[in-house]
Amino acid sequence: PPMHGRIMITEILADPHEGDGDFVELWNGTSDTLDVSGWTVQDQTGEICRITGSVRMLPKSYLACSSDTAIVRMTQGRAYALLRPMLNVHAQQDSVILRASSGFIVDKAPYYRSWHSPVLTSAKGRSLEKRVPESIHSAASGWSTSTDASGSTPGMRNSMDIDLPDNDAGLTASPSPFSVLPGSARHPCVISWRQPFEQAQARMFVLRLDGSVVAELLNGAFIGRQGAVTWDGRHTATDAPLAIGIYIAAMECIDANSNRLVHATCPVVIGQTR
């Protein structure tokens, strides 16, 4: 099966303009060319749509998957794949599952109309994009409305994509300070990691300086050498925004093969709450 956390669903268009079609975009974060022929995309109705023909994804590339041949025009020469039968993502709420041809679940992504920018009166023709392709955290803070002039970015880097810091090891929080306000340019905080194990199980928390836990970001998650999660600055238990101040992100990883354990921490600063 594909390595967990390196092949992800990164963009969903559920309410296209007339003449366009729904699509789900995939990202290949591995260093290999992948044969995705026969892979499937399933929505919450249970409809299973299969990639037709011979389709390969180059390393570090994107692939837009749609049942509508309009995707050829929408991708403008970039990589695409056709799905059969019809993919129809619900415009208000849905859940998309990506499976390899063997049936192995590669990734899952929810879709909520409420995750679009609150300044929009209509999400017509606008896709939801993942802020960081490597992120394994399917939460509202990890997605936002495409800001591309066309309304979406099928087969190419997302308009909302955040560059991860080039750290050698450990944890990095960016931006820091960040804002807990969803409309801010400094929201959310992306906490990225690099760890030495090819495959590991991880836990990640955010703590106050007194050691009390305010947020649980990962709990037994199966991760690769690098990746990221997003944090919206809210308390996990109460869902209330936290106060301005310095917090600590802490992660522990257990090697899936040897049970070796590593720890990493980094400061996370909330600088705006209103």
* Burial class for 38, CB neighbours closer than 10 Å (0-12, 13-18, 19+): middle
pLDDT confidence bin for 166, thresholds 50/70/90: low
pLDDT in tens, 167-216: 555 899 999 999 999 888 899 999 999 888 877 889 999 999 999 999 99
pLDDT attached to residue 140:
83
Q: Is residue 12 within 8 Å of residue 111, measured between CB atoms?
A: yes
Torsion of CA 24, 30, 32, 34, to 10 degrees: -20
Contacts of 244 (CB under 8 A, 6+ apart): 270, 271, 272, 273
pLDDT confidence bin for 118, thresholds 50/70/90: confident
Q: Could you tell me the pTM of the whole model?
A: 0.73
pLDDT in tens, 207-262: 999 999 999 999 988 787 888 899 999 999 999 999 999 999 999 999 877 778 89
Mean pLDDT, rounded, for 2-13? 84
Confidence check: pLDDT of 75 > 70:
yes
Amino acid in the structure at residue 138: S
pLDDT attached to residue 162:
65
pLDDT attached to residue 68:
95
pLDDT attached to residue 240:
94
